[in-house]
Amino acid sequence: MMRTASIKLGVTAHQAAALAALQAAYADACNRLVPLVQEHRLWNRVSLHNRAYDRLRAETPLGSQMVCNAIYTVCKAYKAQRQLGRICKDTPVPSIRFDRASVHFDKRTYSLKDEIISLYTLGGRVSVSLRKGEHQRRILESGTPKEAELLCRKGQWYFNLVVESDDAKALASGPVMGLDVGENNLAAASTGKLWGGEALRHRRDRYLALRRRLQSNGSQSARQLLRKISGKEMRRVKQINHETSKAILAEAIEHGIARITMEDLTHIRDRIKAGKRMRGRLHRWAFRQLQGFVEYKAHAHGIEVVYVDPAYSSRTCSGCGGLGRRARHRFVCEQCGLRAHADLNASRNLARIGGTAVLPRAAVNTPDVANVGREVHVLQ
């Protein structure tokens, strides 16, 4: 099983400048590959290597292995686009900008010794200290380090190192992230991050209005059109869910999360009491699909996923545990006066519940919510 440890790097100003120069050159190399990929429809690593390697060595300051890594990064990005259905047979290959791309490292471009990592840069190797937390340390001790991504977020450099181990056990203890799915926003994490929102809901409402009109029309051509737009809408939702779950996992990895807690959505009807109009708005299967995507991506990174009973999680205060009121996006506690974004308040409650003892559930990835039978165990 593969796990990713996101390790902070302790760099001097001089080393930070060397890493920034490498990242800029790497992004430039990736961007130079894009027209070749577009023109020749090449996203196979060997084919692109044959066509582009000499040119990149001549045009960029990157060493031979880093050129190979840039080719790898571009192929991976285009393969992802293909899986998302964005590259079709008869349409032009889309352009991708790699300006903030992370730098791919492999065994030939980094080496690890205890608390020090030696990294390739344009001006030769630099030795940088690793600032491992308890969770990162545990991941590193669980197996063999493989490839990694070097990235910079808000001025801080990270080395996201993939570790392969034989044992498939989750790393049971560590920080918990609560993930609230599908009310005001597409998702809210207890780390304070929100995904999706107004724009998404607006499109969905437009789709539902169109569907209602076609349903009430009832002619054969209306039925055909309905089938067509339904399929299109499902593909669109699937793509959004793929991208969102990827961003959620990046957030979890950045925070060294060991466990993600989500609500069991079989109860979503009890939770959303805003009436028929609100329920009609929600593609419940779409939120189950998002949870399923989060679940399998989390497992691929050794992060445990648990589902908990959502009772009261939207009406409970994440500060004092008392009951509060929610009005659309706002949550107000009647006891301690806490005011918070309603979805973030719910996600913090989920994190807290997940921090006690909750049993995992088998993976379910199906749009058919009504027919999914499963048990949820919550031990308080």
Nearer to Zn ion, 247 or 332 (CB): 332
46 vs 320, which CB is nearer to Zn ion?
320
Toward Zn ion, which CB reaches closer, 286 or 340?
Answer: 340
3-state SS assignment for residue 137: helix
Instruction: Using alpha carbons, list the distances in angstroms from residue 369 to 150, 288, 296.
Output: 39, 7, 17
> Which is nearer to Zn ion, 161 or 317 (by Cβ)?
317
> Buried b / exposed e across 255-289, counting CB within 10 Å, b at 16+?
bbbbbbbbbbbbebeebbeeeeeeeeebbbbbbbb
Cβ at position 315, least distance to Zn ion in Å: 11
User: Smallest distance from the beta carbon of 192 to Zn ion, in angstroms?
Assistant: 18
Contacting positions for Zn ion (CB under 5 A): 317, 319-320, 322, 333, 335-336, 338
What's the rounded Cα separation, in Å, for the pair 347 and 150? Answer: 29
Tokens of 215: 């349903």
> CB 348 → Zn ion: shortest distance, Å?
11
Based on CB atoms, which residue is closest to Zn ion, 5 or 333? 333
CA 154/CA 12 separation, integer angstroms? 16
Residue 49, exposed/middle/buried by CB under 10 A (0-12, 13-18, 19+)?
middle
Three-class SS state of 380: coil
Smallest distance, Zn ion to C-beta of residue 189, A = 20
CB 252 within 8 A of CB 245: no
- Whole-number minimum distance, CB 324 to Zn ion, in Å? 6
To Zn ion, the closest distance from the beta carbon of 330 in angstroms equals: 14
Contact 75, 48 (CB under 8 A): yes
Task: Say which residue the tokens 């995904």 belong to.
Answer: 195
Residue with smaller CB distance to Zn ion, 61 or 322 = 322
Dist CA 204 CA 285 (whole Å): 14
Min separation Cβ 323 and Zn ion, Å: 9
Distance CA 204, CA 347 (A): 23
Coil, strand, or helix at residue 73? Answer: helix
Query: Between residues 310 and 324, which has the closer beta carbon with respect to Zn ion?
Result: 324
Residue 321 Cβ, how far from Zn ion at the closest point, in Å? 7
Give 24 or 320: the residue with its C-beta nearer to Zn ion: 320
